[in-house]
Structure 1
Amino acid sequence: MFVVGCQRSGSTLLGAMLGSGNRMIATPESQFVADLMPHDPRQIMELGRAIDAITAHPRFKLWNFSIGDQRPAGYGTFMDAVNWLVRTYGARSGRMDIDYWVEHQPGNVRHMRALAEACPDARFVHIVRDGRAVANSLLKVDWGPNSISSAAHFWSQRVAMGMALRDCLAPNRWARVRYEDLLAQPDEELRRICATLELPFDEAMIAARGYHVPPSTRKQHHLVGQALAPQRIDAWQQELSQRQVEIFEAHVGPLITYLGYQLSFGRSARLPSAAETARMIMVQLVQGYRNRLKLAINIGRARAERTAADNGSTAATAYPWRRGVLRRICQMASRLVVK
């Protein structure tokens, strides 16, 4: 089962809910599936080699899970290897009887046709969220758009892809849910999703305890596993400026209304001026550069810690000058960005 949509729309929460069901499991996001899947999903390969390719993929490291020398025997498709990996992951977690794998990487919205062909029995859930709330969340992370205009285009592109999915699949393979409805009435929405997709509903889904957030994404997913907080739905109204809201609506207002949300400015919303556009481009460039430097620091820190562990020393002494220089550059870049 694939939960798709725009990032920061609640895919991890929905994955945790569905993964709480009987004989279901939600794993950490699996970007390596789309990255490594062969052009012909029916291609037969040696399963052990497929697992080697997966475990060598940088994104698999985020699973925080090692299979050691364990490998499947024989031949099969790439998805046969993935299924073996999921069952092995489940067994380590005490889940021996798995019928449904919940993959909640929202970026799969860009690979849905290939995934549908590779997994002819798979189900897809398209989760959508008010684009202004998504933008408010995206602007806070260090991997997404850095201006309100780029956030509007980022959101609209991915929502449009998810909406087009409906025409590619049989009715019992596709469902859509609004994040706000999921928070307000989880029991009703989960029952509807399961009924549409012909999947068994489990009361345990409502508690959303079916996913253990890995350390690498714990900061951005800190609310997963906690009590649902519908009061956070409208936080964007206090955290975005009125001008940011207006620009967002000027770019993608019709799409917001198509999904059932109300506009704040309506037809009076004004696009950004030339000066505002220039400023946003500068912010996008500087903040994007700063984010790449932060990523380099984090990678360097991880390598230093591994090197220190191998040498029996402490990570604090590994590459101190390099990390210090990068940190200083990040601080300087931060001062250039005027919010």
Structure 2
Amino acid sequence: MSDRPVFVIGCPRSGTTMLQLMLHSHPRMAVPPETRFLVPAYYRRRAWGDLRIDQRRRALAQWIATERSTKFRELKIDKDEFVKQVMDGPGSLGSVIGTAFRMYADRFDKARWGDKRPSYVKQVDMLLRLFPDAQFIHLIRDGRDCVASLKEMPWFTLDSFHAVSTWAEAIDAGGRLKRTLAADTYYELRYEDLTDDPATELKKLCHFLEEDFSPSMVSPREAASVAVPQHKVWHSNTHGEVTRSRIGSWANRLDPWEIELCEHMLGDRLEAMGYELSGAPKPAKEYVATCHKTMQKRKASRMRKHVRDRFNRLREPSPVAAMLTSGQRSLAGIPHQRSELTEPAV
């Protein structure tokens, strides 16, 4: 049976929380709420020093467990026990981070863990450095519905041009991943197909994950009380049955100029993903120019961050890749533990 980590990725407001709950409803998988310590720990990795040294691992573990911004508390695991297991574990950044997720899975007596954060779609290279045996599920939703939903979120403080750019970036990143990652590593799934026939789509997804399908995945609302924090009121729909009520609602939620902009800027991508265009007229030139300018600024920012990260990779104080799962240990050249060996024939 597989023990590979699983990451749910995509554009924000594309249904990733619903998919998180479906996976969490599987008897072998645990996928927590967003914890927000993985990315900061990675980008601050030089500050932690050599994690092969006990006190350095302790410092990182205590930061993860006590820093308020990390949301470690959402995992509801014992802080002291977490620090202890990190101290007893391998000296790599991925191992320290992975220990928190493994302990979360242990809470539910499950063999595998996952993580969900839409923005990971643009950080898969980083995730594969941390967890080289990881699998990725990219959930795709009509970009017009994503833009309409993003506009309504209290945490999305940017404008419609940024919302359009956010969806385009997720789709473009997914295209690159589809071309470069192995078929057993990257999987695409449309939100509309998942909500139309959950059982069929989840069976196909389970095949990708090398897991048996579980009917409990189709109705994940019970998992919502465990895996969706109550303060996230914008995820209230996850507490009910799977619904298609919001599909195509962009027609009533977007202003005419926004529909025009979406179909002009995203049209090729929408059609490539199987979405029909409404035939809206071309948007005003100033809207197109502003959107192009927004996309270019965001791209430049990503490139600067990428360059800094490539430079920091030359000065890493300790190993990055996790050494917890069977695949990770094999890649690191660590012998299998006795419990993983096939029992000798009697």
Q: Shared fold by TM > 0.5?
A: yes
Task: Give TM-score scaled by structure 1 length.
Answer: 0.73
User: How big is the shift at 1:272?
Assistant: 4.8
Aligned residue number for residue 200 of structure 1: 212
The question of whether the paired residues in 1 share the 8 Å contact of 2:102 and 2:112 is answered with no
Deviations along 1:189-236, one digit per CA (max 9) or x if unpaired, are 11111212323321111112434211332x111111311111221221
User: How big is the shift at 1:90?
Assistant: 4.0
Deviations along 1:102-149, one digit per CA (max 9) or x if unpaired, are 211111112101211321221100111100000000001133254332
Identical-pair percentage: 26
The question of whether the paired residues in 1 share the 8 Å contact of 2:264 and 2:282 is answered with yes
Alpha-carbon distance between aligned partners in 1 of 2:193 and 2:153, rounded to the nearest angstrom: 24
Aligned residue number for residue 60 of structure 1: 71
CA RMSD of aligned residues (A): 2.7
Aligned residue number for residue 27 of structure 1: 32
Change (3 A) 1:272 1:105: same
The question of whether the paired residues in 2 share the 8 Å contact of 1:251 and 1:271 is answered with no
The question of whether the paired residues in 2 share the 8 Å contact of 1:44 and 1:75 is answered with no
Match of 2:283 among 270, 273, 282: 270
Alpha-carbon distance between aligned partners in 2 of 1:20 and 1:275, rounded to the nearest angstrom: 43
User: How big is the shift at 1:62?
Assistant: 6.0
Q: What stretches of structure 2 of length at least 5 have no aligned partner? A: 1-5, 295-346
User: How big is the shift at 1:253?
Assistant: 1.3
Aligned residue number for residue 11 of structure 2: 6
**Does residue 100 of structure 1 match 2:105?**
no
Alpha-carbon distance between aligned partners in 2 of 1:147 and 1:273, rounded to the nearest angstrom: 15
Partner-residue secondary structure (3-state), 2:189: strand
Deviations along 1:289-332, one digit per CA (max 9) or x if unpaired, are xxxxxxxxxxxxxxxxxxxxxxxxxxxxxxxxxxxxxxxxxxxx
**Does residue 220 of structure 1 match 2:234?**
yes
Aligned residue number for residue 123 of structure 1: 135
Spell out the pairing of 1:209-288 with structure 2 (5 A cutoff): 209-211=222-224, 212-217=227-232, 219-265=233-279, 268-273=281-286
**Does residue 179 of structure 1 match 2:191?**
yes
Change (3 A) 1:2 1:63: same
| Aligned length in residues | 273
**Does residue 112 of structure 1 match 2:124?**
yes
Alpha-carbon distance between aligned partners in 2 of 1:275 and 1:194, rounded to the nearest angstrom: 41
The question of whether the paired residues in 2 share the 8 Å contact of 1:145 and 1:151 is answered with no
Change (3 A) 1:30 1:214: same
Spell out the pairing of 1:67-82 with structure 2 (5 A cutoff): 67-70=78-81, 71=83, 72=85, 73-76=87-90, 77-82=92-97
User: How big is the shift at 1:45?
Assistant: 5.3
Residue type matched to 2:71 in 1?
F
Deviation >6 Å, runs of 4+: none
Deviations along 1:244-280, one digit per CA (max 9) or x if unpaired, are 21122122211111111011126x42245379969xx
The question of whether the paired residues in 2 share the 8 Å contact of 1:149 and 1:251 is answered with no
User: How big is the shift at 1:238?
Assistant: 1.5
Task: Give TM-score scaled by structure 2 length.
Answer: 0.71
Partner-residue secondary structure (3-state), 1:84: helix
Q: What stretches of structure 1 of length at least 5 have no aligned partner? A: 282-339
Change (3 A) 1:134 1:45: farther
The question of whether the paired residues in 2 share the 8 Å contact of 1:249 and 1:263 is answered with yes
